[in-house]
Amino acid sequence: MQTTKLGSNGPTVTALGVGTWAWGDTLFWAYGKDFGAKDVEEAFQASIDAGVTFFDTAEVYGLGESERLIGKFSKQTSQPLQIATKYFPLPWRWSRSSIVDALTSSLERLQTSQISLYQIHWPLEFILKTKDFMEVLADEVKKGRIQSVGVSNYSAAQMTLAHQYLSEKGIPLAVNQVPYSLLNKQIEQNGVLQKSQQLGITILAYSPLAQGLLTGKYTPENLKTLQGARRIDPRFSPQGLQKLEPLFSTLKELSEKYDKTPAQISLNWLISQGNVIPIPGAKNANQAKQNAGALGWSLTKEEIELLRQKSN
């Protein structure tokens, strides 16, 4: 199994993770309508069976339900897991003690005494100073409740500041979790990718399949079956799909060459960037198995560049 480290000396995790935003989330992902607890339990088990043991969640996913599900599932396997979760300071949790309390609650829902990674979900500097957050979490690393510290949705400047405060405590910043895919390469333009490489910070790429667009399963004919907020995303429209046809066509050609799906090609492209861990969602066993098929092989440099050009 391909593995990588979180940051320069954080825990070792699988080179692909499982994003669990959809687990328990009724608002965006329509959990409980076209999929439910049994489906995500099977997705969890299929991931483990395929050797993927890194799960990313957050306390706000399903208002704690995602963490509760992972905690429950983790008790049904003897396989060691690497779990990452996140803290969100709203509505009124702005003090240092709020961070400690939130971590305690997450650990209780996850039914564990230690997690691999704890991240601040958004850089709400006007509410909670980065310095406070980093100092509290440096203490939690020393206490042993978390193995590494990360941020999420941070700009290059914000990430550098977090890195600096942590470094003063002798702990490296391990991760910045940001959107990154063939259809969202913003971090290549705004300095985040370059700065993360300089500082040895791992990118956790969320929405690596652009919320399903890169799976190749959406056509103008089946768009009406979409559930949740994607129904109002202009990319999920006949015109949006038409615009993406050159990329879809290249993905299809590479799928045939490698006997892989468009999703596996798209995930492999991200892994090929180096120090990037995609965390695609999996709502059922089939999706989990498919995601794992992105590991154990690689596109050529020419193919990586071709995909970049077709997705611009």
User: What number of other Cβ atoms are within 10 A of residue 215's Cβ?
Assistant: 18
Specify the pairing of strand 18-19 against strand 149-152.
unpaired
- Encoded amino acid at 84, one letter: A
The shares of helix, strand and coil residues in the chain, as percent rounded to the nearest 5, are 45, 15, 40
Residue range 93-108: mean pLDDT, rounded: 91
Measured CA to CA, the distance from residue 172 to residue 312 in angstroms comes to: 33
Query: Which of these, 62, 99, 107, 61, lies nearest to 83 by C-alpha position?
Result: 107
**Whether pLDDT at 27 is above 90:** no
Q: Does residue 253 carry a pLDDT above 90?
A: yes
Write the DSSP symbol of residue 201: P
Question: Is-catalytic flag, 31?
Answer: no
Question: What is the homologous superfamily of the domain 3-212+273-296 according to CATH?
Answer: NADP-dependent oxidoreductase domain (3.20.20.100)
Eight-class DSSP state of 34: T
Distances (CA, A) of 145 to 135, 241, 256: 14, 45, 46
8 A C-beta contact, residue 77 and residue 110: no
Set 31, 61, 87, 118: catalytic member = 61
Q: Is the pLDDT of residue 213 over 90?
A: no
In this structure, are residues 19 and 11 in contact, taking their beta carbons and an 8 Å threshold? no
**Banded model confidence at residue 225, pLDDT cuts 50, 70, 90:** low
